[in-house]
Amino acid sequence: MGKLRFGLIVRGKKEIEESFEKVVSLNFSLCQLGFLAEEIDLIDPYYIRKKAENYGVEIFSVFLLFKGQIFNNKDGPETMGLVAPKYREERLKLSLKFSDFVKEMGVKNIVCHVGFIPDDEENPIYKTFIPVMKKVVEKCKENGQIFCFETGQELPSTLKRIIIDIGMDNIGINLDPANLILYGKANPIDAVEIFGEYVKSMHGKDGLWPNRDEYLGKEVPIGEGMVNFPLLLRRLKKIGFNGPIIIEREISGEKQIEDIKKAVEYLSPYI
């Protein structure tokens, strides 16, 4: 098996050149783009596809985002993804439309935080979420796509159960080891044992566990958090993982650029 590839997560937007220039300037040839589903009518997917070709950048996956989401354990359950009952109907429509948008962009993988999935399979929110999620996965199947759950807001065992209950073969996982820590859900090493071959890509991101009075842990530069990347990558490669490591650093400015470069340097011996 060859070395794993690096990529960079960047914002998808109408003025896409800035994002692709950033990818190229940091010596990446692969990226993950993130778009708000509510804004895709303002964006031409063919234009983005053409720009990616011009810059020599492969768009490996597209991240499906929604307005109004709050990324923490306090407000997240009522605002995140397709699980939140208040937003489910509208976001289902947006997700189906998003799949067509991504198809026109020529990209195979869609990634999404679907929300805080209840651990109890008898919970009404869990039961009613399954058919909604299945419609999204079926739409992706029609468009030749793989739907990848972003990890972190649910127990790995709960996410594995959902995948089995949906029962389709075009489902994967974008493993974000830091998120599992930030939301206080699991050790990433244990998650790999549960997810196995479902892991199609991963975020290169690190973090610290939340304290008792915190609603979310703290994201930190790779190598300064609690993710054991040497062991994690060894375990992933052992089960046949060959997807990209997409670097994510949730800050901006020069410090972000510095941390991205350091992340590649830190991870390179283990890929």
pLDDT digits over 84-101, tens only? Answer: 999 999 999 999 999 999
Full 3-state SS string of the chain: CCCCCEEEEEECCCCCHHHHHHHHHCCCCEEEEEEEHHHHHHCCHHHHHHHHHHHCCEEEEEEEECCCCCCCCCCHHHHCCCCCHHHHHHHHHHHHHHHHHHHHHCCCEEEECCCCCCCCCCCHHHHHHHHHHHHHHHHHHHCCCEEEEECCCCCHHHHHHHHHHHCCCCEEEEECHHHHHHCCCCCHHHHHHHHHHHEEEEEECEEECCCCCCCCCEEECCCCCCCCHHHHHHHHHHCCCCCCEEECCCCCCHHHHHHHHHHHHHHHHHC
Per-residue pLDDT tens over the stretch 234-263:
999 999 999 999 999 999 999 999 999 999
The answer to whether the beta carbons of residues 96 and 143 sit under 8 Å apart is no
Q: Which residues contact 104 (CB under 8 A, 6 or more apart)?
A: 45, 46, 49
Is the pLDDT at 190 greater than 70? The verdict is yes
Per-residue pLDDT tens over the stretch 164-187:
999 999 999 999 999 999 999 999
Per-residue pLDDT tens over the stretch 61-86:
999 999 999 999 999 999 999 999 99
Residue type, 246: I
**Structural tokens at position 157:** 């065992």
Kindly report the pTM of this predicted structure: 0.96
In this structure, the number of other CB atoms found within 10 A of the CB of residue 214 comes to: 15
The distance from CA 270 to its chain's CA centroid, rounded to whole angstroms, is 21
Q: What pLDDT sits at residue 269?
A: 97
**pLDDT, mean over the chain:** 97
